[in-house]
Structure 1
Amino acid sequence: MKRIAAAALVAVGMAVGVVPAVSAAEGNELTAIRTGLHAGFDRVVFDFTGPRPSVTEYRTTSLEHCASGKPITATGDEFLVVSMQPANAHDYAGPRAFDTPGLSKVRSVTNTCDFEAHLDFAIGYATKGRAYRISFLDNPTRVVVDVNNS
């Protein structure tokens, strides 16, 4: 009987530990992607319904889909991959890949991952090694990527 009670307590503890992460991901839904040309930089903005996601980034010259590993074709000499967690775009109705002809150096924005509260977008730009800055805005939650265009 003690084993059954202990197993039940362990199961409840594990369930409680997992539920908050799932709930946080569900409330962090991508709602819009916007781009804009500014003096000295191009801007890409990701709007969310929930709290700020954690953001990491890296540069690459080739893209692949996170789940399948299949190559992704997008416009750019180099790509800044912005990874946001917990976040998803399951109900996002806007474009997941598009070119940006109105910007100075940013050439494209492409979704490379939307899996298990892990959302990645690659920002393709002209000329490798371009400077960038990532910041946050609130009400609504936004992840802002500024890419130097000079």
Structure 2
Amino acid sequence: MHHHPRRAALAAGLLLTAAACATIPASAAPRTGATGKAPATALVVHARWGGHCTFDRLVIDVRGTMPPVAVKPVEELRYDPSGKHVPLPGRHFLRISLSPAVAHDTAGRPVHQGPRLVKIPLTQLRGVALTGDFEGVVGFGAAFHANPVYHAFTLHDPERFVVDVRHADRCA
């Protein structure tokens, strides 16, 4: 049996490099444009809302490729990473998480132009908060008067994530 110290050292170095690259957060990934290389991390740039006859709509605008989004009913909203309570009116809440995504540029300056916390007097939607921009996850919380019956979907060109919350027809 022959021992090859150079090969062993090279293999160890390759394994360490691979392990180090695997732990780089998405927010630190290289940002490339239309070069054909790895896509840039999605930038969450705005949140907006509107009331319609039979639903309230929340829209989250994204620059870049839309990341996976999770919407989950929760008992209460908390800021990430502090865990502090989010002071929004309402009895029912949805947590919306976009990942991998950021709401800041590479220098750490915010790119999200929407409000960080706002009370909203719509039929169902009572408030929206940016609850986190931490470790490649951008979080929002939405507060509602009643248990929300919602439909969540993505629209493209421009990229945006939409949550429609049904309510009784107020235009009839």
TM-score for the superposition, normalised by structure 2: 0.77
Q: Pick from 88, 94, 97: which aligns with 2:117?
A: 97
Q: Pick from 28, 44, 65: which aligns with 2:79?
A: 65
Describe the SS at the equivalent of 2:42.
coil
| Corresponding residue of 1:32 | 46
Q: State the alpha-carbon separation in 2 of the partners of residues 18 and 68 from structure 1.
A: 23
The structure with the larger Rg is: 2
Map of 1:1-150 to 2, 5 A cutoff? 1-15=6-20, 17=22, 21=26, 22-23=29-30, 27-90=41-104, 91=110, 92-101=112-121, 103-127=122-146, 129-150=147-168
Percent identity (aligned): 34
In 2, are the aligned partners of 1:133 and 1:146 still within 8 Å (CA)?
yes
Q: State the alpha-carbon separation in 2 of the partners of residues 19 and 65 from structure 1.
A: 23
Q: State the alpha-carbon separation in 2 of the partners of residues 45 and 25 from structure 1.
A: 23
Describe the SS at the equivalent of 2:13.
helix
Letter in 2 for 1:134: A
Distance change (3 Å), C-alpha of 1:27 and 1:7 = same
Q: What's the RMSD between the two structures over aligned residues?
A: 2.1
**Count of aligned positions:** 148
Query: Which of the pair is proportionally richer in strand?
Result: 1
- Structure 2 residue ranges without an equivalent (≥5): 1-5, 31-37, 105-109
